[in-house]
Structure 1
Amino acid sequence: MSLLAIIGGSGFSDFPALEIEASRRVETPFGETSAPVAIGRLDGAEILFLPRHGAGHRLPPHRINYRANLWALRALGADRVVGLAAVGGIGARFAPLALAVPHDLIDYTYGREHSIYDGEQDALDHVDMTSPYCEELRGVLIRACAESGHPAIEDGVYAATQGPRLETTAEIARLERDGCDLVGMTGMPEAGIARELGLCYASLAFVVNWAAGKGEGAITMAEIESHLRTCVGHVRKVLGIVATAG
């Protein structure tokens, strides 16, 4: 039976809706995960949950051990992974509070461990990333958003930037010229490593601010946190539907 794992980002350092039955530390070839993996039930369905930034949101995007996180989820039996992503909106459709299920991405990060094929583990492989997200799981997320009463934008190009600082106006203008609709800091190498591990991976993004130069004035944490609180409630409903969809 398919086992769903959820990787929580901003706003999801913990997951009160999850009835935790066990917590596991998993030894991986790549070191420690961001936190122990929680095994529990969401609306009666068994799932795994791992906070990407660790307990208390302590790990910045460039310090996350993406390889260990995804390896551990697979080792515990997950075959589907939803990566939650609080993002900035670039395209006009992607206003704050929008939900989106991106279909493609561009990686602008650097200095991160981007692959399980580091010359020390398995033989080298070059995985296909023509479509970086699992289309089956994207469809499940899109249908769940509609059923929840918070329909998602069904496409979008996610720009993965280095962080932890936010981007400049000129950087966002560049991303827009490149065709990006959303900007976040954790979408890669997470999606690429999931593909290397044979996991069905998709992102559920929720917009918590206009990207630099797209709104009025400077971006404030108060604005982000306000939108984040609203989005967390919407995403919680969607995840319950996804978990029980089997």
Structure 2
Amino acid sequence: MPIHIDSDQGIELAVIGGTGVYALGQLADVDSWWQETPYGMPSGPIRIGTLDGHRVAFLARHGEGHSVPPHRINYRANLVALQMAGARRVLALNTVGGITADCGPRALVCPDQLIDYTWGRIGTFSEEAGSEVVHVDFGDPYTASLRAAALAAAHRANVHMVDGGCYGATQGPRLETRAEIARMRRDGCDLVGMTGMPEAALARELGLDYACIGIVANWAAGAGPDVDAVIGMEEVLANVAAATEGVARVLRGMLVG
């Protein structure tokens, strides 16, 4: 049974975890909330607890068993569920590949731009007949104040985080070809991932503050010092685990800053 959430109490920060980030182990006094939204079921339960006395919500984007591929994620239900639970600020953790020199494995990057290469995903709440058609301003896809909070927290915690960059969102679940990554580099992308869109646009339609921390798991195809290198999933997950140690410190800093 879902627990009752008093949204008036508010959630200071909601975190959406990507590949390799299926829980926030730092949360205490955790309750679980999982119920259907007007757009269907979210990927899994929202875990709501406290971090250093602050209310934080966590949702695993792919499900806690990584059972939902990028193109099948119900992005609308995920964001609406977080909003229903009382979230107003959403920090997205996205496991990504690095394209440019500053974005190598284990780097943390707070992008300020994105390019959408996905297709066929429902990317608006104006989809259903009779819905109000909303044309949101999306020139700057991430909320400046939330980006600034993440970067300031990283600085205070002595965690290196790259300030800015362009996230290229691809369809997945397959990885990209060398030619596709070369094209993305020419387009100005620094990172490649599969879940950055339509999540960011939907958050904007809902009026949620939204920012992204890209956790670089590996070099994208043909990028990096060894363009022929191919790494396995074990190394990818090890890189994510190492980088998320810094993310935990940033989260704490965002709550007290």
For the aligned pair, the TM-score class normalised by the smaller chain equals over 0.9
Take 2:256 and 2:60, find their aligned partners in 1: how far apart are those partners?
A: 21
Q: State the Cα distance separating 1:184 from its structure 2 match.
A: 0.6
Unpaired runs of at least 5, structure 1 = none
Distance of aligned partners of 1:79 and 1:194 in 2 relative to their CA distance in 1, 3 Å threshold: same
Match for 1:69 among 78, 81, 102? 78
Q: Note if contact 1:44-1:244 (Cα within 8 Å) is conserved in structure 2.
A: no
Report the equivalent of 1:225.
Answer: 237
Tell me, yes or no, if structure 1 residue 243 matches structure 2 residue 252. no
In structure 1, C-alpha distance between the alignment counterparts of 2:111 and 2:207, rounded to whole Å: 19
Contact 1:104 1:156 in 2 (8 A): yes
Tell me if the contact between 2:165 and 2:189 (Cα under 8 Å) persists in the aligned partners.
yes
What letter matches 2:94 in structure 1? A
d(CA) in 1 for partners of 2:29 and 2:162? 31
Secondary structure at 1:84 match in 2: strand
Q: Alpha carbons of 1:101 and 1:48: their partners in 2 closer, same or farther (altered >3 Å)?
A: same
User: Which runs of structure 1 show a deviation greater than 4 angstroms over 4 or more consecutive aligned residues?
Assistant: none
- Pairing of 1:118-129 with structure 2 (within 5 A): 118-120=127-129, 122-129=131-138
Corresponding residue to 2:36 among 27, 48, 71: 27
Q: Distance in 2 between matches of 1:228 and 1:52?
A: 15
Aligned length: 245
Contact kept, 8 Å, 1:53 with 1:61, in 2: the verdict is yes
Alpha carbons of structure 1 residues 20 and 51: separation in structure 2 relative to 1, 3 Å? farther
Measure the CA separation in 1 of the matches of 2:172 and 2:11.
Answer: 34
Contact 1:5/1:81 (CA < 8 Å) preserved in 2? yes
Q: Could you tell me how far apart the structure 1 residues matched to 2:183 and 2:111 are?
A: 19
Q: How big is the shift at 1:155? A: 0.3
Work out the CA distance in 2 between the residues paired with 1:11 and 1:42: 20
Supply the distance in 1 between the matched residues of 2:255 and 2:43 (Cα, whole angstroms): 22
Write the mapping of 1:37-56 to structure 2, written as runs, cut at 5 A.
37-56=46-65
Equivalents in 2 of 1:2, 1:50: separation in Å? Answer: 13
**What is the rounded CA distance, in whole Å, between the counterparts of 2:148 and 2:99 in structure 1?**
23
Q: Give the secondary-structure state (helix, strand or coil) at the position aligned to 1:116.
A: coil
Find the aligned partners of 1:34 and 1:20 in 2 and give their Cα distance: 22
Q: What is the 5 A alignment of 1:1-246?
A: 3-120=12-129, 122-215=131-224, 216=226, 217-245=229-257
Q: CA RMSD in A?
A: 1.4
Give me the whole-angstrom Cα distance separating, in 2, the residues matched to 1:13 and 1:21: 14
Offset, 1:2? 6.4
Percent sequence identity over aligned pairs:
49
Alpha-carbon distance in 1 for matches of 2:252, 2:174: 32
1:65-116 CA-to-partner distances (Å, cap 9, x unmatched) read 0000001111111110000011111011111111111000000011111111
**Residue 21 to residue 38, structure 1, CA distance change in 2 (3 Å):** same
